Amino acid sequence: MHDDHEPFDRVLAAARRGDEAAFTRLFRSVQPLLLRYLRTVARDGLVSADDVAAETWVSVVRGLDRFRGDEDGFRGWVFTIARARLVDARRSTGRLPLPVDTVAELADRPAEVDVPTAVDELMTTEAALEVIARLAPDQAEAVVLRHVVGLDVAQTARVLGKKPGAVRVATMRGLARLRQLLPAPDEPRVGRGV
């Protein structure tokens, strides 16, 4: 069994040599966030987040020898693969989700909400991910990758195949939409769908 404080490069090297415990450490460091991401962006029901995650790890195992980078780079690489597998899975269904008119879907909230604080408070719950999933797809992906997964703008841009400026805009717009969806701090959350 490997020490939990063993440097990433050693764990990666051991995983490449076929050390099951080392690969398990890599898997456990990413899998919970990967599932949150996939379950949020694949809520349309067209594909199974768990199936896409499994396909992602098959691709990771096949490409592990080719990966070069640090721990943050590894996480970004896994999410890039996951997004590609998600696109592949959606293509194989022969249909894409219908766009949602988020403006029509969202109720105006007169009270100001500190969105980052509110999201941080809710992030451990399924309800928070359900709220994020109601955003436009590009906004939901940007918010999840930046604020749930913890990727920086450059890594998020690589995962999404977009320019960093587009990621910043999608994130900003997503957070603005979340402000409309989240109750004010003194409002009860019951019956709000949050």
pLDDT in tens, 102-157: 454 444 444 455 666 655 554 455 667 788 888 998 999 999 999 888 899 999 99
Give the C-alpha distances (Å, rounded to integers) separating 65 from 12, 74, 82, 149: 9, 12, 18, 24
* Amino acid letter, residue 194: V
pLDDT band at residue 4, thresholds of 50, 70 and 90?
Answer: low
Kindly report the average pLDDT of the chain as a whole number.
81
* CATH class entry, domain 102-181: mainly alpha
- Tokens in use for 155? 């890594």
- Residue 184 Ramachandran class (φ > 0 left, ψ -120 to 50 alpha, else beta): beta
Domain-by-domain residue ranges, the chain? 8-93, 102-181
Please say whether the beta carbons of 164 and 157 come within 8 A. Answer: yes
Please say whether the beta carbons of 180 and 110 come within 8 A. Answer: no
Q: What is the pLDDT of residue 181?
A: 82
Q: What is the pLDDT of residue 154?
A: 94
pLDDT band at residue 72, thresholds of 50, 70 and 90?
Answer: very high
Q: Is the pLDDT of residue 159 over 70?
A: yes
Q: What is the pLDDT of residue 122?
A: 47
Query: Can you name the CATH fold of 8-93?
Result: Rna Polymerase Sigma Factor; Chain: A (1.10.1740)
Q: Nearest to residue 175, comparing CAs of 112, 117, 116?
A: 116
Query: CA torsion, points 43, 120, 35, 194, in degrees to nearest 10?
Result: -30
For range 34-47, the mean pLDDT:
86
